[in-house]
Chains A and B, each alone.
Chain A
């Protein structure tokens, strides 16, 4: 029976690609697929593109492939990445230029068609405007004028088509994370687009691999202290058969762990209804999935059941939604908490005195409650130190910046023994998201090939 081995690349924009070296050199993979996009990343890319029309893709693309392609191309390893972000064509061209400089040969195919922002008027005129994701949600018109991006989640088909064109590297924009992996599986294993159970297995493989190290011992809530050598942790690899059955593993000699326990955490991660995990290609029921731990960092994955996907595609759109200024200051024993609370009160008074237009005020005390918030119980003993963190939101950038400048004077004018002030933090723009659904008729994925042959 034919099988194909497929490896995970980085799991988000900012993740490491160092573990991919072992995947390529020792993992016997044919594909490396990586997820560079979150909703937040799209917003960052929208700002990049506003400054430079040739930007808008994730900037890890070129350095990552510059390092990995010399290992990958001689072995015939192909890449599928959504690093194209809001500008897959510019990403493709930047990569081609970088390849040309080093004399590498590769065919790069961009997948486009997910971007809807410039087409909203056209879609509205055709009666195909996106509608709210949740019944009763705010209509698009409420945020329409403020949007900086709006993208549909594409599925695996254009990726499989790009690979059929002979792509060494497929660069997409917003596609469903699992589709990055399902595309190559369908291309290699010849599954039909209505072979729901096999597509479901492929989507499960994609879901298990899309968060990189999280399937191989990273962020593991079990006996994490016993996971070996996380500093050299491997990224997951799946060996998938024509029948859809998969074995998840990692490259020999890497740290981390692939086991029943580590995989079940990732299998359920952020899926919501586990009996209806929606992707653009298939709706998956995870209820029957069996994770058979074979030992030696190998787990056999079977039993996903598939059903036709939703008729409409998910849309994610984002808009600027104010600014936040952040204060961070530490206070030492004795009375560390009382000092931090007094500093917060002082900041609040001075912000009021300065008439800063602050719309929301959020206080946290690091060491007491900054992560669990109101669910954190009082500490049993007096803490050695407490850090104050205040986040102040304003519609005005100037007010958020002015708030951060209230912090340094605390050192001389506030409660005694302040330390750990790390310098003025720049005000940060906040983003609101709108999610919706759009008819497939409104979205036409395209593949656009180019290559360097020199």
Chain B
């Protein structure tokens, strides 16, 4: 069964030059372990392909139950040059949460 990442995580994003920088946060150890498995650099890059992302960097921070993601090329020209309404990339954290992932074990039972 597929679910959206928003079911398991929150995210905050910001800009740095032409890059977008995201933190992804889980509420428990268990969901963090699942997110680590599901939110891979390859899947994140595919998800953001329409925005022209060229490379994704990813770090795991278990003490914070968090992932750090950096999307290269996500903001061509940077904040003061882009024509986008969201010139600072503050909404791209929530755009990541649209990503579809496999539901963790027991998810369907939880819904019953």
A residues whose Cβ falls under 8 Å from a Cβ of B: 39-40, 43, 219, 221-222, 261, 264-265, 267-275, 286-291, 303, 318, 321, 324, 360, 362, 364, 366, 370-377, 389, 391, 393, 430-433, 435
Contact = CB atoms under 8 A, between A and B. Distances in A.
Contacts of A377: 98
Contact of B80 (A39, A267, A275): A39
A373 B86 CA distance: 9
A222 B94 CA distance: 11
A425 to B, nearest CB: 13
B59 A40 contact: no
* 4 interchain residue pairs of minimum CB distance: A374-B50, A362-B83, A268-B23, A391-B83
A321 B81 contact: yes
Nearest to A286: B61
B10 interface: yes
A360 B84 CA distance: 11
Given A264-B66, A393-B83, 9 more contacts: A221-B93, A269-B23, A270-B14, A270-B15, A273-B59, A371-B91, A372-B94, A375-B50, A389-B85
A375 B65 CA distance: 26
Main SS class of interface, A: mixed
Interface string B38-75: 00000000011011000001010101111010100000
B84 A373 contact: yes
A430 B66 CA distance: 35
Interface residues of B, number: 40
Nearest to A369: B85
Main SS class of interface, B: mixed
B104 interface: no
Interface in B71-112: 77-81, 83-86, 90-95, 98
Contacts of B47: 375
B73 to A, nearest CB: 12
B79 A40 contact: yes
Given A287-B61, A370-B85, A219 B80 contact: no
